[in-house]
């Protein structure tokens, strides 16, 4: 791999990956989940309980060597991957590329991807990632910078693999989580203590597999602002006309981008793979499927999705305001995104009845 491809690049992405967090009903262990394409997933028998010394079950490679063979067994400690070689210093290794996140309980997030080779984008804006691609998402307290968890998705020959690591209080290392349910942890956000849930690997799979591509947000549209500068590192063939969100109204364009990043992982118009996947909020059709349209699913309250000029009567707003019961997004949110909610309210209020 060329040195210039390996170097860390900070990407000011307009959108990121959806953060999943709620655990589905399951009595299966959920340490590292291997999911073959088209399969329901299976437990990796080499996974370890948090606190088990590395090497007791898996013999992990030394940190600097993991990315030389990114298909080897995921270790019990994140330090053995070498994502943050100087932890508690959270500077990433130069073997990964960095890009920016979206909302998840107000936590700060670092997103990194290891690409063994440039992305095959010949099939269009939904990129085909090479085998051995590894994506990382690390959640931290916004003020203190204390890391809370790191989630991992790896592309394998026969599907995707999911894992979650919980950080030690002193940020020296993170342990593989094998709990079949979410692990609650108290974090400081906006001057208040919030209970954030570290998901199981099964919960990650449940969210990501609602989308046909499994990997969320790492595509031509959501990294469009960086393609000009980084096309040589990211893609084999720079797209002549990259996909973009087009609307003459800046606020509407902003809202369509927000929905694309936060909702389209589930609401993408695909064949049913998860909750309401046939309800389409992709930026090309979202306005027509929202404005003046009645709800259709038995799983949501009856009403009009977006009532022009009336946010309080719009089901979209009531769904975003909930943090219990049936919140939107349904995964990983225990604290509302007030800024995002206000953006949606402002947009609906300025729509002409």
Tens digits of per-residue pLDDT, 230-282?
Answer: 555 666 666 666 667 778 899 998 888 888 777 777 776 766 544 454 578 88
The mean per-residue pLDDT over the stretch 204-220 comes to 64
Q: Are 114 and 9 in contact (CB under 8 A)?
A: no
Q: Are 23 and 177 in contact (CB under 8 A)?
A: no
**Element (H or E) spanning 336, and its range?**
none
Query: Is it the case that residue 75 has pLDDT exceeding 80?
Result: yes
- Separation of alpha carbons 107 and 129, rounded Å: 27
How would residue 57 be classed by pLDDT, with cut points 50, 70 and 90? very low
pLDDT of residue 189: 83
- Separation of alpha carbons 183 and 40, rounded Å: 23
Of residues 106 and 26, more confidence is placed in 106
Query: Is it the case that residue 213 has pLDDT exceeding 60?
Result: no
pLDDT of residue 16: 30
Query: 182: which 2 tokens?
Result: 């979410």
Chain segment 108-135, per-residue pLDDT in tens: 788 888 988 877 766 665 677 889 999 8
- Separation of alpha carbons 107 and 105, rounded Å: 5
- Report the mean per-residue pLDDT for the chain: 72
Of residues 42 and 337, more confidence is placed in 337
- Separation of alpha carbons 230 and 228, rounded Å: 6
pTM of this prediction? Answer: 0.64
Query: Is it the case that residue 199 has pLDDT exceeding 70?
Result: yes
pLDDT of residue 121: 67
The mean per-residue pLDDT over the stretch 100-110 comes to 64
Burial class (CB in 10 A: 0-12, 13-18, 19+), 294: exposed
């Amino acid at each position: 791999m060329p040195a210039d491809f390996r170097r860390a690049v900070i990407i000011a992405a307009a959108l990121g990956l959806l953060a999943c967090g709620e655990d589905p009903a399951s009595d299966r262990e959920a340490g590292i989940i291997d999911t073959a394409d088209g399969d329901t997933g299976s437990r990796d028998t080499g996974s370890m309980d948090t606190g088990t010394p590395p090497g007791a079950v898996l013999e992990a490679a030394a940190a600097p060597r993991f990315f030389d063979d990114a298909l080897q067994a995921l270790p019990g400690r994140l330090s053995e991957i070498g994502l943050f070689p100087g932890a508690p210093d959270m500077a990433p290794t130069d073997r990964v590329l960095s890009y920016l996140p979206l909302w998840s309980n107000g936590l700060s997030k670092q997103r990194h991807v290891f690409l063994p080779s440039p992305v095959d984008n010949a099939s269009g804006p939904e990129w085909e990632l090479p085998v051995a691609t590894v994506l990382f998402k690390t959640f931290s307290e916004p003020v203190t910078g204390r890391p809370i968890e790191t989630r991992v998705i790896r592309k394998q020959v026969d599907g995707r693999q999911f894992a979650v690591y919980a950080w030690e209080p002193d940020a020296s290392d993170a342990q593989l989580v094998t709990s079949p349910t979410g692990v609650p942890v108290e974090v400081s956000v906006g001057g208040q203590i919030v209970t954030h849930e570290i998901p199981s690997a099964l919960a990650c799979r449940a969210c990501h597999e609602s989308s046909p591509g499994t990997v969320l947000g790492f595509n031509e549209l959501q990294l469009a602002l960086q393609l000009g500068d980084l096309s040589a590192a990211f893609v084999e063939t720079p797209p002549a006309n990259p996909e973009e969100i087009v609307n003459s109204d800046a606020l509407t364009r902003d809202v369509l981008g927000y929905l694309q990043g936060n909702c389209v992982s589930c609401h993408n118009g695909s064949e049913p793979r998860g909750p309401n996947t046939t309800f389409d909020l992709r930026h090309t059709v979202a306005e027509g499927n929202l404005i003046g349209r009645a709800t259709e699913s038995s799983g949501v309250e009856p009403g009009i999705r977006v009532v022009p000029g009336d946010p309080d009567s719009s089901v979209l707003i009531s769904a975003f305001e909930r943090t219990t019961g049936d919140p939107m997004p349904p995964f990983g949110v225990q604290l509302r995104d007030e800024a995002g909610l206000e953006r949606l309210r402002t947009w609906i209020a300025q729509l002409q009845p």
